[in-house]
Structure 1
Amino acid sequence: MGFPFLVRRGARFYFRVRIPVDLREPFGRLEVWRSLKTADHKKARTLGKLEAAKAEITFEKMRNRELTRDQLRKIAEEYLHSTLEYCEGHREGGFLPRTHDEKEGKLLAYGDLADRYKGALSDLDVQETRARGLKRAGELVDSVLKERGLTLPKDSEEYAILARELLKRALEVCTVEASRIMGDYSNDYDRSRLYRQQEAAEEKQAGLLLSEVIQAYVKDHLTCKKWTPKTEQENTSILAVFLELIGDRDITTITHQDLMSFRDTLVKLPANPKKGRAKEGKPLKEVLEMGLPPMSLTTVRKYLIRIASFFKWAKLHKYVTTNEAEGLTIKEKKKVKASAARDTYDSEDIQRLFRALEYAPNKPERFWIPLISLYSGARLNEICQLHLEDVQDIDGVPCFRIEEEGSKKVKTVAGKRVVPVHPVLIELGFMRYVQMLREKGAKRLWENLKLKRDGYGQDFGKWYQRFNRRYITSHKKKVFHSFRHTVATAMKQSGVLETVAAEVLGHENSNMTYSLYGKGYYPRPLLEALLKLDYGVDIGELREKANTGLNYRPRK
């Protein structure tokens, strides 16, 4: 997936969005740029999604002229604090007047500026001279709006409100700076930090903007490494959709009824509402009007579960006092057994698999990985991430060692295990393949597979999906994971002990005596269980393919 809103300049990433045609005139430009203040691409992606959602909200509010008085006041407050912090940082950085005459000149300049702002404010508060006051304040207002990537029509009431709020804060800047230049830090701002205390008190009472809480939520989960890259991408995408649909507002004002209205809109959205050529770059309001097929209820449930988790976290960390998302999720109409979620491959499917597999020396993984899963029940990524060192002889039995170390991951703690290499794989020449790689100095079993967001198996999984539908079966419930079901079913029907089968497949053992006190099985009993995997299919043709592939030598 691309990230068209991200641009790198030097070491830093920037958010860039094209301004809709109908808003370009008031903006006076084609694009909005904003620094994401990070050189980390992963963090920039996350922040960029939220900025994109906030931009859509801003565009919509501009069309409807919906910047509230509180939002305008907050813009003015931010101007006050950032300006005074900048001035103080300038002094701390050594940028000082060279002489007392220069110091006096700065004092006079602040005095003149204060008189100008007072005059503009005075004009602004009289109907007869209001236009003149707006003109005198225009440079200040326009510079602040431009810095934040915003614009307001100059004849709007919002522009006048912001002008008045900014003039008051600008006068405060002049007063505080004049005091500081004289070496007096006993002014109200520096002595008691009155404005910052008031701001903190208002935020505590009123709450933060939804976008600010989302950023805190994402930061907490990334800092504590609670999310995988896949989970991070899913969550930030879902929260960006939520932010755009519900609006960037005080989180404490979001009610359960608001969330139910959001749910009513969500069920009308298509799956991946921001992906695809037709949808990319469009606000969700336009996507809704495209009449595309709506997302499935399963996807809706995923959205609602993630949003409920966000509000649960927000309550835990005191951003809200109640979890308004409780009871928001849609319950499944019917439940199915876990074993029914995927079907097993039958002997005819396996026969078609054997006929379709080809041994291409430059793509050996396409031959071996399906067979390894069929004769071990190992998960796709467990096989795709294997290193040469993970194929070991243990107690005289060739084994796969499935571990979590470095870039290798396992699904659960029980996933760390040893699985014997099935004799069928050895007969086909798998150990010979391993030896050839060792002689070549390779480190991994499948050098073509690269580590991606979902592990080493991401690209292979896509290939197998196409291969499976073309050559093996069109049955929707028969996928790569069906190999695990096939192995589990075969062992169950052959009378293999559940504790043995669980260890082969990497499942938790529910037996307290064995799981708490007993150590893992030695390879020999596990091999005996795997020997019962008899699919009643001849491997003669496979053996010939493997021999041809292993004996292939490229021309020099």
Structure 2
Amino acid sequence: MKPSPSFLTINRHGTFYFRMVIPRPLRPLFKGQREVRRTLRTDSHRLAQKRARQYAARLEAAFDKVICVLERDELGLTEADYLEAMELEMKGLFPDFSSPKDESRPADPILSDEEIEARQRRREVERLLTGAYGRPVPQEKEALAKQLLELSQPYQPTELRAVLPKLRDELVLRSLRPVRDGAVDTPQAVPSYDPAMADWTFYQVWEHQLERDRADTSSKGGQANHGGTLAERERLARVMTVLTQHKPVCQLTKKDWQAAYDNARKTKANADASIDPPTQLIEILTDDSEQQTGHERVRALIAFMKQIQAHARYLDLTTFRPDDVIIKPVEERKNERSRDGVAFNNDDIEAIFSGYIYKGPVADGRTKAYPFWFWLPLVGYFTGARTNEIAQLDTADIRVVDGHPCFDFCADAVDAPEAKRIKTGEARQVPIHPRLVELGFLSYVDAATLRLEARLP
């Protein structure tokens, strides 16, 4: 498809506009205005091009005449004279492309924003059902039009062109299935799930998935075999249950699913979501961007919601898929917490260094441990380095500088295999704390170096 001419633009409602840059010598006559912009009163690309070409030809001719007068000014005309000449040239340049006015009809009333939006929604429904804007909906399709208008309320008018075909297909399929008396906007007309699951919320669906993971002995990872992952998934399951307002999954409508995914973006950071007693939805939501959960956690929440929704479909608790609703990408958030970070408090430090790696009994089911499990948190504690910076360290990065052992946080050459990366301007050398030396860190580095050399050919 050929690109539109530079003097043709389109607004968010689909209406084309004409725009042309005013030559620099003439801009003072337009009070500094840089361009001329006029509506073309059409959403037809072909008709808009035709009308825009008329504007362009007439304006260029008018501009050329006035510029010619400016260049040959022998009469000492004032700016007011040039302005009058410009007005005379432009008079009649912009024809009215609207329908001829009927003087016998009263003038159109001024519409409110709500009335304008209602017209836009009706216009998109008419386009879907008739194939063109402005055509009246046939009487036999009027009931379908009303249903589409009702179901599309959660969406913005600009989203309707993509959403309405899906809603229409859903209504047609629903009409082909047997419907129970009094059923309105139910996920499934005839339930095929186990009746014992009729009251299952998101939390019970997650618990069922967890039991399946535990029964799968072929997998050694995942939430069933990792305490940290399990605790995080359990927390997300509670948040999802609150987002769906503790409703049974089999009763969730498409609007409920859409609202849950939309509200996931507005959850408070570190919000306490409880199943018993049930936390109310309003308690975990906020419109303050400084208090909202970071974008990475929101992405993880939405990804887990999709996973549990897929498991609910496996159990026949819902017929809706994540693709049936609009889930917009989560944009990166920059707030005070993400910019400055959140420091560990004393309780956090105590929790980190009181695990079985440092003291206390070995946890049940633990059959092995790696040395870096012991050293990485300690290096972070005594250097303040980022996790990624510490994880990139190798034995060659432990160097003696002016008689003092140091960590050398620096980037490798670009062409080096598995090259380390450091943020611009943050390469540095950090002395190794005496407490690390006392605990045997340098001996650990020497032993790792010997093992590495033994493997080299």
Q: Tell me the TM-score normalized by structure 1.
A: 0.28
Select the structure of larger CA radius of gyration: 2
Going by fraction, where is helix more abundant, 1 or 2?
1
TM-score, length basis structure 2: 0.32
**RCO higher in structure (CA 8 A, sep ≥6):** 1
